[in-house]
Amino acid sequence: MRVALFLTCVNDTLYPETGRAVVKLLTRLGVDVDFPMGQTCCGQAHYNTGYRHEAEPLARHFSDVFGEYEAIVTPSGSCGAMVRELYPRMGERARAEGRSDTLARTLAPVVPKTYELTEFLVDVLGVTDVGAYYPHTVTYHPTCHGLRSLGLGDRPRRLLQAVKGLELRELPGADECCGFGGTFAVKNSDVSAAMGADKVRNAASTGADALCAADNSCLMHIGGTMARLRTEMRPVHIAEILASTEEEPLT
């Protein structure tokens, strides 16, 4: 199976270690993973800020770059939701605006074969124990688009529970948004920061070493808040925990 890593522009630019972790993890599980160099951005920030027409060329570009792969895997719940939930909607809107169904037809092939990482592991590869080792206490924050748009359910938690050495602690108010919300973090920074501080407080109350999530955008906000509040806890992407082994532990 030819699998493409859709890393996302945020991870590519700011969190390359997450990308390296996905490559290491998938390779260990026998997947032939490729990183198409033409990939850029799915257009989520444009779309959600009200610039749907600016997002359309980016969606078409995504389709050009990833169209020929059998599966597209992304370590981001919100970018995964952009492709799976919002690309079809963009196509429908274009059709409703009388701009023919070209966009809908162009985007249709990539929609069903785009998977968020934990979905790909559990649903496609059929594994929950990926042979990982991470001797730390962890609390898990389900990010909103992974939780509600993609319906990731208990997949991430099942994967974490199978990690050797890992102790999973319940996060109070886990389903509540961390307050990132893309441009919301800047446009409504007071509310965003208050939500972030509450999330960090809840996370700290677990006494865990790390807060894990499956989306680095939310972790950038939560981690930035943790650092500012001098919380003795670190944000960590689930891919990095799952890639960590006894031979090559995550440092």
Partner 1 sequence: MSGTFVGMPAFPKAAHEAVYNQTLRGNLRHATHTIRAKRAKAVAEVSDWAELREAGKQIKDHTLRHLDRYLVQLEESVTAAGGIVHWAADADEANRIVTDLVKMTGETEVVKVKSMATQEIGLNEALEAEGIHAYETDLAELIVQLGKDRPSHILVPAIHRNRGEIREIFAREMSEWGRPAPEGLTDTPAELAEAARLHLREKFLRAKVGISGANFMVADTGTMVVVESEGNGRMCLTLPETLISVVGIEKIVPTWQDLEVFLQTLPRSSTAERMNPYTSMWTGTTDGDGPSTFHLVLLDNGRTDTLADEVGRQALRCIRCSACLNVCPVYERAGGHAYGSVYPGPIGAILSPQLRGTASEIDASLPYASSLCGACYEVCPVAIDIPEVLVHLRERVVEGGAVTRDGNKVVLKPAKGHAAERAAMRAARWAFKHPGALRTGQRLASRSRRFHPRSLPGPGAAWSATRDLPTVPSEPFRDWWQRTHGGKDTGK
Residues 129-168 that bind partner 1 (CB under 8 A): 144-145, 148-149
In the complex, the smallest distance separating the C-beta of residue 11 from partner 1, rounded to whole angstroms, is 7
Token reading at 211: 């807060």
Q: Does 112 bind partner 1 (CB under 8 A)?
A: no
Contacts of partner 1 in 72-101 (CB under 8 A): 89, 93, 96
- Binding segment for partner 1 (CB under 8 A), chosen from 103-111, 128-136, 178-186, 201-209, is 178-186
- Work out which of 3, 4, 7, 238 binds partner 1, going by CB under 8 A: 7
Complex with partner 1: residue 37 or 126, whichever CB lies closer: 37
- Work out which of 67, 131, 153, 182 binds partner 1, going by CB under 8 A: 182
* Total site size for partner 1, rule CB under 8 A: 73
- Binding segment for partner 1 (CB under 8 A), chosen from 106-114, 117-125, 163-171, 192-200, is 192-200
Among positive and negative, which fits the CA dihedral 119, 161, 210, 248? negative
Complex with partner 1: residue 138 or 195, whichever CB lies closer: 195
Complex with partner 1: residue 35 or 105, whichever CB lies closer: 35
Complex with partner 1: residue 162 or 193, whichever CB lies closer: 193
Pattern 44-73, partner 1, x by CB under 8 A: -xxxxxxxxxxx-xx--x--xx--------
Contacts of partner 1 in 207-236 (CB under 8 A): 220-221, 223-225, 227-228
Q: Is residue 143 a contact partner of residue 78, using CB atoms and an 8 Å limit? A: yes
- Binding segment for partner 1 (CB under 8 A), chosen from 114-122, 123-131, 154-162, 176-184, is 176-184
In the complex, the smallest distance separating the C-beta of residue 128 from partner 1, rounded to whole angstroms, is 26
Token reading at 201: 């407080």
Contacts of partner 1 in 14-43 (CB under 8 A): 14-17, 19-20, 23, 34-41, 43
What CA–CA distance (Å, rounded) separates 45 from 50?
9
Tally of residues, the chain: 251
Which residues lie closer than 8 Å to 221 by C-beta, 6 or more apart?
Answer: 178, 179, 180, 185, 192, 196
Alpha helices, H only, the chain: 9-14, 16-28, 44-49, 52-66, 77-81, 87-96, 102-107, 117-119, 144, 155-161, 184-187, 189-205, 216-228, 238-243
- Closest C-alpha to 181, from 215, 133, 154: 215
What CA–CA distance (Å, rounded) separates 24 from 184?
33
Phi, psi torsion values for 118, nearest 5 degrees: -70, -30
Complex with partner 1: residue 55 or 166, whichever CB lies closer: 55
What single-letter DSSP state applies at residue 120?
Answer: I
